[in-house]
Amino acid sequence: MANNILIVILVTSFATYLSRFLGVVSAEKIKETSKMFRWFNCLAYSTLAALITRIVIFPSGSLNEIDYSIRFTVVVLSIAIFFITKKNLVYPTLFSAIILSVFSSYL
Amino acid sequence: MINSKFFFKGFKSIKGVGSPAIALGASFIAIGALLKNLGFSVQESIFSTFMIYALPGSLVMAESMLIGASLVNIFLAVWLVNARLYPMTVALMPLLMHKDQPRWKYYLSCHFIAVSSWLIVKDNYELIEKENRIDFWIGIGTATWSVAIFSTVIGYIASDFLNKDILIGLAIINPIYFTCMMLGAMKTIQISLSVVFGAILGPAFYFFSPEWCILFGGFIAGTVAFLIGERNGQ
């Protein structure tokens, strides 16, 4: 099993590094002022937004046990705190964790 | 070789009100606990975060091991879930490249590309002149990567104390952090539309294909946002 775990880690890291590596290869031919660059910039932001909302709406791990409406409320409140605290990232993240743990243990 | 002034300027990004340390720490603590439950030794857990440093990739690896997937299947599943790193890299590296800098820095430091480090450097690269940006980026990357490795160890050691309620609390931190960072990044029409369309289409495509929804949704959302932005002078 020990060998297996090492091989699985190496396979996973290779699969992950591949996209990063190919990204650098492509980037060497792309100027930051080009249309191509702006397109990839849009793709990167949209893919991240898709990933994040998917995690909140269709979570795979422990978040799955929390009701959709509670998750939604926590996200909206955290965003409100983010803007109220002049874009401080520490308050909304801590708030979300504490409130969700409390919801999870008492509801 | 690496300009320490700019390296440490980047490294300091883990301090302050925009710090990714809490979000990164929370997720990798959960990963550390998960890997322990999977039967990893502490060295293997450290090695895994050291080598992979991409949260969804580690999760897919863990899930695949649980169901006993073959190495080829693990490779394909991880590659698919981490394919988002490709557009992220293409959208970052041209900003950091400079003719006076050696190319190995790009190929080595691309390992640090993950959502948190990427959003930080995208938010701050304009403060640094182009010649020194790669060293600034290596500083950011080293800092976030170190937090991830350190947190994996903490999670591994603390796994017996992490009950379900705590894990749920840890699990929400990362998406909240990223959501706030993305909202803060919406400064141009193109980026704002990319974020909004991506947030709608990603989950919408989930009903057609849970595996491909992020890439398909992201591709269409980003392309439409790009076209609208170009037509309106970005």
Query: In this structure, are B47 and B22 located in the same domain?
Result: yes
Q: Above pLDDT 70, what percent of chain B?
A: 100
Query: In this structure, are B131 and B47 located in the same domain?
Result: yes
Close Cβ partners of B134 (under 8 Å, ≥ 6 residues apart) = B96, B97, B98, B101, B105, B106, B109
Query: In this structure, are B154 and B220 located in the same domain?
Result: no
Query: In this structure, are B124 and B233 located in the same domain?
Result: no
Q: Which of residues 62-81 of B touch A (CB under 8 A)?
A: 63-65, 71, 74-76, 78-79
Residue B17 has pLDDT above 80, yes or no: no
Query: In this structure, are B196 and B170 located in the same domain?
Result: no
**pLDDT tens-digit profile of A20-79?**
999 999 999 999 999 999 999 999 999 999 999 998 999 877 788 888 888 889 999 999
| Residue B56, domain extent | 4-174
Whether residue A19 and residue B79 make contact (CB cut-off 8 A), yes or no, is yes
pLDDT of residue B15: 85
Q: What is the pTM of this model?
A: 0.92
Q: Tell me if A89 sits within 8 A of B190, measured CB to CB.
A: no
b vs e for A77-92, b when ≥16 Cβ sit within 10 Å of the residue's Cβ?
ebbebbeeeeebbbeb
Domain-ending residue, one of B125, B151, B174: B174
Domain-ending residue, one of B132, B149, B174: B174
Residue B181 lies in a domain: no
Query: In this structure, are B77 and B158 located in the same domain?
Result: yes
pLDDT of residue B9: 92
B24 touches A at CB < 8 Å: no
Query: In this structure, are B163 and B232 located in the same domain?
Result: no
pLDDT of residue A1: 46
pLDDT of residue A3: 56
Kindly list the domain boundaries of chain A, sorted by start residue: 1-30, 31-60, 62-107
Query: In this structure, are B49 and B112 located in the same domain?
Result: yes
pLDDT of residue B22: 87
Query: In this structure, are B115 and B212 located in the same domain?
Result: no
Whether residue B52 and residue A12 make contact (CB cut-off 8 A), yes or no, is yes
Overall number of domains in chain B = 2
Query: In this structure, are B120 and B204 located in the same domain?
Result: no
Residue B180 lies in a domain: no
